[in-house]
Structure 1
């Protein structure tokens, strides 16, 4: 059911009852009672570095310790920008004294920069909110926010020519923005900033910050994007956050989102997130895996999170994630970090099996790609070909239903 990559990221044990992060005081759905005593269950001795840091931050919201503060926090979900700093230095210096284990360099770098989030924007879209904003006639139904890197120009071009077209495809106003850090020009022997500025002049869809574009820094793209979105783009009804190697069935996605809007009278959009949901994942302890997380850094299971190449959430939720992320220490794996922020808000993402990772059995059938919303990993060449095929078969496949959302009603 889960791809090798998902299994690598987090070993999945679906039979387990969700034993992760059951915090007393947060299972009540009344928003005024949303202040957890702790971010995770007290039955586990959590002594990973991240757990200790987070537990300290959580103590600030303990209703028993700080009744006034806690009450305010639960109503507003707005947190102090320097909250996480207050306990960080003390714990880090204590850990350095007590812990002789040598962490991998990437992890050490991550810890050294764990508090830094105020990276300046180097390039941003000329329209207020991504490509196409200048000719806007209504707030966008969906903003496509795509994680990419400086060198992946071919991926960006393929997306612009196919599923990522801005404007009015299929009856919904779509905008697009690419999220980038910086490559080290010393390592590459070339500085791409001028080329990127020209690319942005041409397409108006580049959003780049001044941080190093590494695997463990992918989380920064979420956090900085939420901040930018809240300032510039808050009117967008939905956000698709995806990687630059996914194929999205934009027309079907727009139809699906219109259905969610029609349902939303009784279905709270403030809590809407949908994707390929992974529950009770174990951190990867394989030293050679890029998802490796040592026990000294994080103990326990992961929270429920949406993995794979992309996820869709509401603009309202994006703004709540922006606020709550100020109270959650950065974590090196981006999807898991988003899951932590969702857990903080006591929201469970919806699973939909039309969000796919890697291949699917019926792939060869003529209408296969009309039954999915998103599929991960496809090369730029494959994107262009698949999109052309989908266009050709659009008429004959228009009534094909989406793959069944088998877990959605849980």
Structure 2
């Protein structure tokens, strides 16, 4: 107590004498860089609630209007029931209509590259006729399987990629079989249409024969381009939800990957009990997660996104080469996608929907959507430890699957 009174006495004396204590800062209130001075209150960040944020970016402005419409802070009277029952598509259409009436938005649109303009012109269309579809509610299952599948393989492919589909049918995507044991799984291939003028031949009849023989083709009447891969996600979610497929998990991936199916099935069975216990199955997504990525600004890249179309970083997302999520999450993504404007990069778009669901993908190091790092592929048993790797040829896929099955049998 004596020391405390002594210390206080010194401070009082120094102030009376007009002397500034050596430990007193010039500004007693700490202000972080990039803040606005607001005397009497805590500092305000310069970007807090800015109306002009990303004002030059076409997609950001379109989505900003939709996000504000569904913001519970801006619209506190909008109940959760109201959110579920709202006509999401009408809000998206209205935001597009209002935005394109603005002079600055029209100028921005005309400054975009031609292929981006073409994408924008078709952004609002979400409904396309189904040309071919499987007979079953969850695609093609094993002959004796009657229960809902544990896992549905939903594989993005193109009409010309017959060899890729055959390799998958004969290997990791073979429905109802793994390592000599029964397992409950199903398979469906997701396609649009090739431009017959570009091909110089119409192969639709060949695809119909393939569909009739295998029963695992789901094709819509839209042009199968890179930017339309997002449509495959959106239309698949709707098909999955409308047919009430009860698959517990969905694997969505490309047709040039190898999947270690025995290991993946074992992993999912292990996860299922924990997810159900924690009631977190509705949020489950796992893959190779890319965090805080920036749009590709290289105009020669197929991933090129100009800053006038999208500004800012991407949300965390799982690489589209191969990702697993729950059937419950697929149904939630179906609803959320109706209030998120389409985006040209499919896996980024899924991340945008996930962020608005307040759900986040889980990173798993055994999902190698960018192939093995360094020389790790040459190490013994490298393929035994992984769940997925991208890219592989049809011949490699079949050979790797045989290896995976043998290893699985001898390591059980």
Post-superposition CA distance 1:118-177 (Å, at most 9, x none): 011110012222112764321100000000000000000000000000014355301000
Residues 161-199 of structure 1 show CA distances to partners (whole Å, capped at 9, x for unaligned) of 000000143553010000000001111111111111110
Counterparts of residues 2-401 of structure 1 (less than 5 Å):
42=49, 45-47=53-55, 48-73=57-82, 76=84, 80-94=88-102, 95=104, 97-99=106-108, 102-132=111-141, 135-169=144-178, 170-264=181-275, 265-266=277-278, 268-356=280-368, 357-360=370-373, 361-396=375-410, 398=411
Whether the aligned pair in 2 keeps the contact of 1:362 and 1:368 (CA below 8 Å) is: yes
Q: Decide whether aligned partners of structure 1 residues 179 and 112 sit closer, same or farther in structure 2, where only a CA change above 3 A counts.
A: same
Partner Cα distance (1:162, 1:50) in 2: 41
How far the C-alpha of 1:386 sits from its partner, in A, is 1.5
Greater RCO, CA 8 A, separation 6+: 1
With over 3 angstroms needed to count, the CA separation of the structure-2 counterparts of 1:282 and 1:63, relative to structure 1, is same
What residue ranges of structure 2 are gaps of 5+ in the alignment? 1-46
Q: Which runs of 5+ in 1 are unaligned?
A: 1-39, 400-410
The answer as to whether partners of 1:77 and 1:324 remain within 8 angstroms in 2 is no
Q: Which moved more, 1:123-132 or 1:78-87?
A: 78-87
- Please, what TM-score do these two structures have when normalized by structure 1? 0.83
Distance 1:60 1:359, change over 3 A: same
What is the CA–CA distance in structure 2 between the aligned matches of 1:141 and 1:215, rounded to whole Å?
30
Cα distance, 1:304 vs. partner? 0.5
Distance 1:182 1:200, change over 3 A: same
Structure 2 length-normalised TM: 0.82
Q: Secondary structure at the match of 1:67?
A: coil
Contact 1:218 1:334 in 2 (8 A): yes
Q: CA deviation at 1:100?
A: 7.2
How many angstroms apart in 2 are the aligned matches of 1:350 and 1:132? Answer: 28
Give distance in 2, aligned partners of 1:194 and 1:41.
Answer: 57
Helix, strand or coil at the partner of 1:69: coil
Q: SS of the counterpart of 2:72?
A: coil
1:122 is paired with a residue whose SS is strand
Distance 1:372 1:68, change over 3 A: same
Q: 1:127 to 1:374 in 2, by over 3 A?
A: same
Aligned residues: 358
Q: Does the CA contact (< 8 Å) of 2:142 and 2:184 recur in 1? A: no
RMSD after superposition:
2.0
- Provide runs of 4+ in structure 1 moved above 6 Å: none
Question: 2:391 and 2:141 mapped to 1: Cα distance?
Answer: 26
Distance 1:163 1:338 in 2: 24
Query: Shift in Å at residue 101 of structure 1?
Result: 5.4
Q: Quick one: structure 1 residues 218 and 311, their matched pair in 2 at CA, closer, same or farther if it must change by over 3 Å?
A: same
Match of 2:165, SS?
helix
Task: Please identify the structure whose Cα radius of gyration is greater.
Answer: 2
Give the direction of change, closer, same or farther, for the CA distance of 1:233–1:246 in structure 2 (3 Å limit). Answer: farther
Cα deviations by residue, 1:35-84 (Å, 9 ceiling, x for unpaired): xxxxx98468222111100011112113244333354356x486523221
Q: Secondary structure at the match of 1:106?
A: helix
